[in-house]
């Protein structure tokens, strides 16, 4: 059995075989924004082993249902989907009561964000932001609309594949993760410098799987997406 590489304090390290490099020239913005000097190793202490805790009290009732939390006068346009799965640590244990924040474009590939000037329709009934807290098994579930692809200025005829942004905390500031979920079979994946910036062996971990079990009869297609965070190698002491 192989265990995740541990630091002396019993917290797994960032696995650089899984994460994209800090400068990836095909993704042009990295060239001036990624640091050029090596990261300096830091032995985690209490500062790193702690982090903000946001539980169910941080949520509003419709936060996990993006098909309803932006409604003004009707149903949002597009294909209703369900995104569900578990947040796990590297030993496969569920991470309970941890906050997941998501944001995404609408079905036509347009974000609510004021800086998005893509000439595609905004949807008055879709906001595109939501939150969820995992249950005791680390399970989560969002209802949303399948996001559309959209062009971006990285290179000629550049299009982002359909994706949903996710932000997670996990058990400490070390398990913090911001990532993107992609959809199976998307032909834009093989052309996307952000997705391709990820080490090849790790890319399929970013692609959700269609799940007939998660699909709700007569309502919405289901996609399964588990998220693995860094974590303590043993159960932390309760204070």
Partner 1 sequence: MADFKQTPSQTVGPYFAYGLTAKQYGYPQTSIAEGVLVGDDTEGERITLIGRVLDGEGKPVSDAMVEIWQADAQGRYTHPADPRGSNSTFVGFGRLGTGTDPQNRFMFQTVKPGAVAEGQAPHITLILFMRGLLTHLYTRVYFSDEAEANASDPVLTAVPADRRGTLIAAREAGANGVEYRIDIHMQGPDETVFFDA
Q: Is 143 a catalytic residue?
A: no
Judged by CB under 8 A, the residue of 77, 203, 224, 233 near partner 1 is 203
238 interacts with partner 1 by CB under 8 A: yes
| CA distance linking residue 183 with residue 181, whole number of Å | 7
x/- map, 1-40, partner 1, by CB under 8 A: xx---------xxxx--xxxxx-x--xxxxxxxxxxx-xx
Close Cβ partners of 32 (under 8 Å, ≥ 6 residues apart)? none
In this structure, what are the phi and psi dihedrals at residue 83, rounded to the nearest 5 degrees?
-115, 120
Bridge partners of residue 70, in order along the sequence = none
Of 105-124, which residues contact partner 1 (CB under 8 A)? 105, 111-116
Residue 153 or 187: which CB sits closer to partner 1? 153
Q: How far is the CB of 2 from partner 1 (least distance, A)?
A: 5
Q: Is 27 a catalytic residue?
A: no
Q: How far is the CB of 125 from partner 1 (least distance, A)?
A: 13
209 interacts with partner 1 by CB under 8 A: no
Q: Is 203 a catalytic residue?
A: no
Question: Which of the residues 86, 110, 160, 230 is marked catalytic?
Answer: 160
Judged by CB under 8 A, the residue of 99, 100, 107, 189 near partner 1 is 99
Q: How far is the CB of 124 from partner 1 (least distance, A)?
A: 12
Close Cβ partners of 136 (under 8 Å, ≥ 6 residues apart)? 94, 96, 97
| CA distance linking residue 54 with residue 179, whole number of Å | 19
Judged by CB under 8 A, the residue of 48, 65, 135, 186 near partner 1 is 48
Q: Which of 135, 171, 114 is CA-nearest to residue 59?
A: 135
Which helix or strand (DSSP H or E) is residue 46 part of? Answer: helix 46-49
Please answer whether residues 32 and 105 qualify as being in contact, where contact means their C-beta atoms are separated by less than 8 angstroms: no
190 interacts with partner 1 by CB under 8 A: no
**CB neighbour class for 87 (10 Å; exposed up to 12, middle 13-18, buried from 19):** buried
Catalytic residue annotation:
111, 150, 160, 163, 165
């Amino acid at each position: 059995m192989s265990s995740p590489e541990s630091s002396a304090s019993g917290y797994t390290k960032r696995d650089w075989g899984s994460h994209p490099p800090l400068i990836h020239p095909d993704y042009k913005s990295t060239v001036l924004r990624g640091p050029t000097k090596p990261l300096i190793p830091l032995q985690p202490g209490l500062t790193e082993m702690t982090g903000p805790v946001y539980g169910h009290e941080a949520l509003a009732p419709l936060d996990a249902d993006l098909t309803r939390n932006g409604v003004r006068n009707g149903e949002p346009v597009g294909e209703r989907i369900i995104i569900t799965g578990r947040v796990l640590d590297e030993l496969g244990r569920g991470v309970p009561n941890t906050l997941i924040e998501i944001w995404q474009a609408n079905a036509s590939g347009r974000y609510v964000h004021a800086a998005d000037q893509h000439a595609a329709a905004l949807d008055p009934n879709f906001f595109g932001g939501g939150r969820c807290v995992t249950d005791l098994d680390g399970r989560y579930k969002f209802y949303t609309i399948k996001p559309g692809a959209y062009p971006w200025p990285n290179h000629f005829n550049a299009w982002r594949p359909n994706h949903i942004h996710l932000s997670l905390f996990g058990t400490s500031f070390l398990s913090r993760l911001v990532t993107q979920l992609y959809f199976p079979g998307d032909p834009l994946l093989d052309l996307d410098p952000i997705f391709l910036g990820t080490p090849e062996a790790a890319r399929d971990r970013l692609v959700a799987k269609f799940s007939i079990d998660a699909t709700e009869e007569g309502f919405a297609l289901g996609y399964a997406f588990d998220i693995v965070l860094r974590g303590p190698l043993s159960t932390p002491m309760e204070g």
